[in-house]
């Protein structure tokens, strides 16, 4: 999705395009890891603040690293957005690890703002994908709208319970993982369609 917006149809088969599409597996691997993590988060019973904080920190770090990996395979504004999201994700992960005694409100607020930012960028990316002629552009749009809805819910009900926070972390990881996998497989399909030099 994001990575495909950097592909220029002006020079089909160029070495630059072929090198970009060769890294299609990076977002796919990141997506699988994020989805597995999201399901693990949703399947465990968290009874302590420390466990929730560690889960949040791991989630932030994984999505941040996936965004940084995406930034290296992107160009222009897509690269900048992925870089900003990556730095914010890694930074939030570090905060969660360094400040494990943080209140639920602090962690919930971090999750909410990251979800909101990801949702907004996801909407922009979905419409870029639509303009590029991608058939599944609506799927990232649905995920982005879900992220924004959960972010608004998180802001309205901060600190209500551990269950809400764990739900937010799990949804963020799973939706990000699905988006990354779609981007990776789309880039792979583009790469296969390129004429070989």
DSSP per-residue letters across 98-164: H-TT--HHHHHHHHHHHHHHHHHHHHHHHHHHHHTT-TTTHHHHHHHHHHHHHHHHHHHSTTS-HHH
Report the interhelical angle of 138-156 vs 162-193 (nearest 10°): 160
Over the chain, what is the mean pLDDT? 76
In this prediction, residues 61-79 reach a mean pLDDT of 77
d(CA 59, CA 17): 31
Confidence of residue 17 (pLDDT cuts 50, 70, 90): low
Q: Which of 98, 43, 24, 35 is nearest to 63 (CA)?
A: 35
Q: What pLDDT was estimated at residue 117?
A: 83
- The conformational region for residue 130 under phi > 0 = left, psi -120 to 50 = alpha, else beta, is alpha
In this prediction, residues 64-80 reach a mean pLDDT of 76
Residues 6+ apart with CB under 8 A from 59: 37, 38, 41, 93, 169, 172, 173
In this prediction, residues 78-93 reach a mean pLDDT of 84
Percent of the chain with pLDDT over 70: 76
Confidence of residue 2 (pLDDT cuts 50, 70, 90): very low
CB 64 within 8 A of CB 176: no
CB 93 within 8 A of CB 23: no
Q: What is the pLDDT of residues 167-196, one digit of tens each?
A: 777 877 888 788 888 888 888 888 787 776
Q: What pLDDT was estimated at residue 3?
A: 42
In this prediction, residues 18-40 reach a mean pLDDT of 82
Q: How many Cβ atoms are within 10 Å of 86's Cβ, its own excluded?
A: 20
Q: What is the pLDDT of residues 98-125, one digit of tens each?
A: 876 665 667 777 777 877 888 888 888 7
Q: What is the pLDDT of residues 32-54, one digit of tens each?
A: 988 988 888 888 766 666 777 77
d(CA 81, CA 180): 14
pLDDT for residue 163 is more than 60? yes
CB 114 within 8 A of CB 60: yes
């Amino acid at each position: 999705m994001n990575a495909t917006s950097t592909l220029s149809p002006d020079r089909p088969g160029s070495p630059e395009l072929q090198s970009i599409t060769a890294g299609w597996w990076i977002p796919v691997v990141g997506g699988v890891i994020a989805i597995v993590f999201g399901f693990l988060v949703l399947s465990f019973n968290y009874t302590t603040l420390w466990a929730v904080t560690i889960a949040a920190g791991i989630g932030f770090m994984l999505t941040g690293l996936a965004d940084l990996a995406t930034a290296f395979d992107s160009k222009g504004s897509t690269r900048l957005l992925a870089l900003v999201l990556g730095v914010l994700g890694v930074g939030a992960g570090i905060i969660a690890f360094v400040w494990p005694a943080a209140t639920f409100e602090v962690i919930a607020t971090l999750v909410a703002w990251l979800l909101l930012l990801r949702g907004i960028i996801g909407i922009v990316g979905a419409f870029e994908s639509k303009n590029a002629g991608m058939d599944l552009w609506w799927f990232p749009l649905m995920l982005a709208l879900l992220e924004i809805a959960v972010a608004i819910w998180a802001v309205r009900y901060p600190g209500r319970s551990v269950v809400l926070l764990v739900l937010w972390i799990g949804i963020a990881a799973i939706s990000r993982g699905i988006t990354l996998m779609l981007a990776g497989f789309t880039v792979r399909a583009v790469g296969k369609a390129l004429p070989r030099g």
